[in-house]
């Protein structure tokens, strides 16, 4: 890095850093909402919202489901982080979900929820989300709102450009933010050998059409840029996947400055169909890796974790026609494809225009070899003018992400100038701009990245809220803002705070989800090896130092409720089956002093809490969920005796001991 360059860049960077727009204070534009705004977001008691919005929790590692237009939080769905609220990641059944090649990783940084697609439309079956930190992709089943699968991705660092579905969810695709040496390459290399030893890897995870089951099909080895975001083509561009990349300078220190040297970085276009053909033709190279694949079953109510040992790769420099680069002004972030699949919109964080690329022109430029040089010897860079359909001029400062409505308009967030800009997709003219508070990242329109946007609302996720809410100490809430986009002008309707940092959200009309809801799990189908189907079957079994308690929960008692013969130093596994067969009747389970969590057991489900009693005494346990008028009576005791004690195993409920 030359020091003079550093000085030139300072003003641009200062602009980015000082992006909180101190000029925009509540009481000015932010408070000027129309008189009918309240009516438009009011969902009367007992009524349902029109839309579900699934918002990433960022560093909370979870996903939150909100109702729109009310902004009501419906549920936090635990994904990558342990959740003591319901025992996810604490119960014996769910611990394997958080297993990785690095061991148990009970946290992640989740950015991009992605609804599964059929014919390019959101089908409401599954929601995928990336773990950015320990690279993973999770799948949430939208019939149960449970995380049912997590697959780790080898060979990459920072699974940020992820997970984006192809048009029929043939694949969910992810790409690396922090290029690194491949896992098997002998990682002990000097960091300044970056250009030589570091690689990018694009992961293609195959999704089973019936079950949603994921499988790492192959990885494409690409130059060591920082890959930021992605979107699949659709319609005519079905076979292609588009990625933004920054740091095409391939810097490895002070990226703030060194990765902003070039006037243009790239949108990388990958012909995934062609890559798939090459893999099917046996052109892939198998390499050893290590990654976890964790699957949860609604029948055993348990997860299994398998460590996979191999993947196959294709080095894109060896297969011409797989990869092309479209130059894109200044450190592009989001890349979005119009509903008709014809235009590709990329947003340069430091750029003064929004370039809109034409898919048709891209194909022409490839056919005519309208190249502007090569990367790594033989990866063509297409000429900017040859692929450009046009530029949205003077959109604002710091364009990041774009989504589309049902009427031919695009909406782009401006991080630095804190606004959303509405423009017309066909003539690229700006129609409207609305201030937001403050520094928006992503935005979400129901169906807004699909072939058939539903439109009506845009939800903008703000990184900074400053003075918008009652203060809560040094950490202030991040927030979403809801706009009505049914008319010509965007109208602010509502602000609501969010869980963690919402990066992206996907929104879908509620009827696509509601009709498939599972209300309880059928007890008859429960194949958990520790399930008991009636109180008569409950028991306590000692095997050496291991004690298995087979317990049931039912309004309003736990059976058995008095358990003796437990000893200090035992490994006690309490397996609780919730016998209820009705909607909305979970039972909880907690033990005094257990350094684990509580469990929340759904009707028909079995969950297991592991407990290590470390001192003798009488230890109460109870149901934590106020389940009935006699919930407070739903309790019991363990008697813990010293190790080696002669107190026999004994358990009972009611006046008559169940058995012994
Ligand atoms: S990002 S604020 Cu992690 Cu999707 Cu753009
Ligand atoms: Cu069961 Cu309270």
pLDDT tens column, 10-31: 344 444 444 444 444 444 445 6
pLDDT category at 634 given cuts 50, 70, 90 is very high
Q: Is the peptide bond before 556 cis (omega within 30 degrees of 0)?
A: yes
Q: What is the model's pLDDT at position 6? A: 36
Atom of ligand 1 nearest to the CA of 111: 3
Is the pLDDT confidence value at 301 over 80? yes
503 CB less than 6 Å from ligand 1?
yes
Contact by Cβ (8 Å): 269, 322? no
111 CB less than 6 Å from ligand 1?
yes
- Distance, CA of 471 to CA of 620 (rounded, Å): 39
Expressed in angstroms and rounded, the spacing between residue 57 Cα and the centre of ligand 2 is 29
**What pLDDT, in 10s, does the model give residues 384-421?**
999 999 999 999 999 999 999 999 999 999 999 999 99
Q: Which two tokens stand for residue 20?
A: 């909180």
Is the pLDDT confidence value at 241 over 70? yes
Atom of ligand 1 nearest to the CA of 229: 4
**Ligand 2 shell residues, CB under 6 Å:** 553, 587, 623, 625-627, 631, 634
- Distance, CA of 188 to CA of 191 (rounded, Å): 9
Expressed in angstroms and rounded, the spacing between residue 503 Cα and the centre of ligand 1 is 5
Mean pLDDT in residue range 474-500: 95
Expressed in angstroms and rounded, the spacing between residue 459 Cα and the centre of ligand 1 is 14
Q: What is the mean pLDDT of the chain?
A: 93
Expressed in angstroms and rounded, the spacing between residue 538 Cα and the centre of ligand 1 is 50
Mean pLDDT in residue range 560-565: 97
Q: How far is CA 480 from CA 67, 336, 474, in A?
A: 12, 21, 19
361 CB less than 6 Å from ligand 1?
no
Share of the chain above pLDDT 70, in %: 94
Considering every ligand atom shown, identify the ligand nearest to the alpha carbon of residue 576 and give its number. 2
Tell me which residue has its CA closest to atom 1 in ligand 2. Answer: 587
Q: What are phi and psi of 426, to 5 degrees?
A: -75, -40
Phi-psi region of 5 (alpha: psi -120 to 50; beta: other; left: phi over 0): alpha
Q: What is the model's pLDDT at position 24? A: 45
CA nearest 436: which of 516, 490, 370?
Answer: 490
- Distance, CA of 62 to CA of 77 (rounded, Å): 6
Is the pLDDT confidence value at 334 over 70? yes
Contact by Cβ (8 Å): 373, 381? yes
Considering every ligand atom shown, identify the ligand nearest to the alpha carbon of residue 414 and give its number. 1
- Distance, CA of 346 to CA of 338 (rounded, Å): 11
Is the pLDDT confidence value at 143 over 50? yes
Q: What is the model's pLDDT at position 12? A: 43
Which one-letter DSSP state was computed for residue 88?
B
pTM reported for the whole predicted model: 0.94
**What pLDDT, in 10s, does the model give residues 414-428?**
999 999 999 999 999
146 CB less than 6 Å from ligand 1?
no
Q: Which two tokens stand for residue 275?
A: 């890559």
Considering every ligand atom shown, identify the ligand nearest to the alpha carbon of residue 332 and give its number. 1
Q: How far is CA 135 from CA 130, 174, 202, 250, in A?
A: 7, 9, 12, 21
pLDDT category at 256 given cuts 50, 70, 90 is confident
Atom of ligand 2 nearest to the CA of 556: 1
Spatial neighbors of 463 by CB under 8 A, at least 6 apart, are: 415, 438, 439, 440, 441, 478, 501
Expressed in angstroms and rounded, the spacing between residue 624 Cα and the centre of ligand 2 is 6
**What pLDDT, in 10s, does the model give residues 426-447?**
999 999 999 999 999 999 999 9
Q: What is the model's pLDDT at position 442? A: 97
Considering every ligand atom shown, identify the ligand nearest to the alpha carbon of residue 347 and give its number. 1
Question: Cα Rg for the chain, rounded, in angstroms?
Answer: 27
- Distance, CA of 659 to CA of 657 (rounded, Å): 5
pLDDT category at 113 given cuts 50, 70, 90 is very high
Considering every ligand atom shown, identify the ligand nearest to the alpha carbon of residue 585 and give its number. 2
Expressed in angstroms and rounded, the spacing between residue 606 Cα and the centre of ligand 2 is 15
Contact by Cβ (8 Å): 8, 1? no
Q: What is the model's pLDDT at position 566? A: 98
Atom of ligand 2 nearest to the CA of 631: 2
Expressed in angstroms and rounded, the spacing between residue 553 Cα and the centre of ligand 2 is 8
pLDDT category at 258 given cuts 50, 70, 90 is confident
Strand ranges (E), 489-597: 491-497, 505-509, 539-543, 546-554, 557-559, 562-567, 571-578, 587-591
Better-predicted residue by pLDDT, 641 or 2: 641
Atom of ligand 1 nearest to the CA of 504: 4
Instruction: Report the SS3 class of residue 38.
Output: helix
Q: Which two tokens stand for residue 228?
A: 């930021």
Expressed in angstroms and rounded, the spacing between residue 441 Cα and the centre of ligand 1 is 6
- Distance, CA of 415 to CA of 332 (rounded, Å): 13
Bridge partners of residue 197, in order along the sequence: none
Expressed in angstroms and rounded, the spacing between residue 657 Cα and the centre of ligand 2 is 22
Contact by Cβ (8 Å): 396, 309? no
């Amino acid at each position: 890095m030359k020091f003079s360059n550093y000085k030139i860049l300072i003003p641009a960077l200062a602009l980015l850093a000082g992006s909180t727009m101190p000029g925009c204070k509540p009481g000015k534009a932010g408070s000027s909402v129309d008189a009918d705004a309240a009516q438009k977001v009011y969902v009367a008691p007992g009524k349902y919202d029109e839309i579900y919005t699934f918002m990433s929790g960022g560093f909370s590692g979870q996903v939150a489901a909100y109702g729109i237009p009310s902004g009501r939080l419906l549920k936090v769905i635990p994904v990558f982080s342990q959740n003591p609220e319901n025992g996810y990641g604490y119960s014996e059944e769910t611990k394997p979900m958080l297993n990785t090649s690095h061991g148990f990783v009970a946290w992640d940084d989740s950015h991009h929820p992605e609804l599964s697609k059929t014919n390019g439309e959101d089908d409401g079956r599954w929601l995928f989300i990336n773990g950015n930190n320990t690279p993973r992709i999770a799948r949430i089943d939208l019939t149960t709102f449970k995380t049912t699968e997590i697959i780790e991705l080898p060979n990459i660092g920072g699974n940020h450009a992820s997970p984006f579905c192809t048009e029929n969810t043939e694949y969910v695709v992810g790409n690396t933010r922090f290029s690194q040496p491949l896992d098997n390459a002998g990682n002990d290399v000097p960091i300044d050998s970056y250009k030589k030893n570091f690689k990018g890897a694009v992961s293609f995870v195959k999704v089973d059409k019936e079950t949603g089951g994921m499988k790492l099909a192959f990885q494409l080895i690409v130059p060591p840029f920082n890959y930021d975001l992605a979107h699949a083509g659709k319609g005519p561009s079905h076979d292609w996947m588009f990625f933004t990349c920054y740091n095409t300078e391939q810097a490895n220190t002070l990226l703030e400055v060194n990765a902003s040297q070039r006037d243009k970085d790239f949108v990388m276009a990958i012909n995934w169909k062609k890559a798939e053909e090459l893999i099917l033709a046996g052109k892939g190279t198998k390499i050893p890796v290590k990654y976890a694949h964790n699957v949860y079953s609604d029948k055993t109510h348990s997860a299994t974790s398998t460590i996979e040992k191999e993947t196959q790769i294709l080095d894109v420099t060896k297969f011409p026609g797989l990869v092309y680069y479209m130059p894109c002004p200044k450190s592009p972030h989001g890349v979005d494809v119009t509903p008709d699949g014809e235009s590709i919109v990329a947003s340069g964080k430091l750029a003064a225009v929004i370039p809109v690329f034409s898919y048709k022109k891209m194909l022409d430029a490839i056919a005519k070899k309208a190249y502007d040089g090569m990367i790594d010897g033989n990866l063509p860079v297409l000429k900017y003018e040859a692929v450009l359909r046009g530029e949205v001029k003077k959109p604002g400062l710091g364009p990041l992400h774009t989504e589309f409505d049902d009427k031919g308009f695009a909406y782009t967030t401006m991080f630095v100038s804190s606004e959303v800009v509405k423009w017309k997709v066909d003539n690229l003219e700006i129609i409207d701009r609305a201030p937001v508070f403050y520094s928006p990242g992503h935005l979400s329109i129901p169906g807004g990245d699909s072939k058939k946007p539903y439109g009506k609302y845009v939800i903008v996720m703000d990184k900074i809220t400053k003075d918008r809410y009652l203060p809560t100490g040094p950490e202030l809430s991040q927030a979403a803002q809801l706009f009505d986009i049914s008319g010509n002008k965007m109208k602010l309707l509502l602000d609501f705070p969010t869980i963690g940092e919402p990066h992206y959200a996907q929104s879908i009309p509620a009827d696509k989800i509601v009709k498939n809801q599972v209300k309880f799990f059928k007890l008859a189908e429960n194949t958990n090896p520790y399930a008991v189907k009636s109180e008569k079957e409950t028991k306590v079994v000692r095997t050496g130092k291991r004690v298995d308690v087979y317990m049931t929960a039912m309004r309003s008692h736990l059976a058995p409720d008095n358990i003796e013969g437990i000893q200090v130093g035992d490994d006690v596994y309490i397996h609780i089956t919730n016998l209820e067969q009705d909607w909305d009747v979970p039972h909880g389970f907690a033990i005094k002093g257990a350094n684990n969590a509580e469990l929340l057991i759904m009707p028909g489900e079995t969950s297991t809490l592991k407990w290590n009693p470390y001192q003798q005494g009488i230890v109460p346990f109870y149901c934590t969920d106020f389940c009935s008028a006699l919930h407070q009576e739903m309790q019991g005791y363990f008697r813990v005796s010293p190790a080696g004690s002669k107190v026999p195993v004994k358990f009972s409920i009611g006046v008559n001991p169940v058995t012994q």
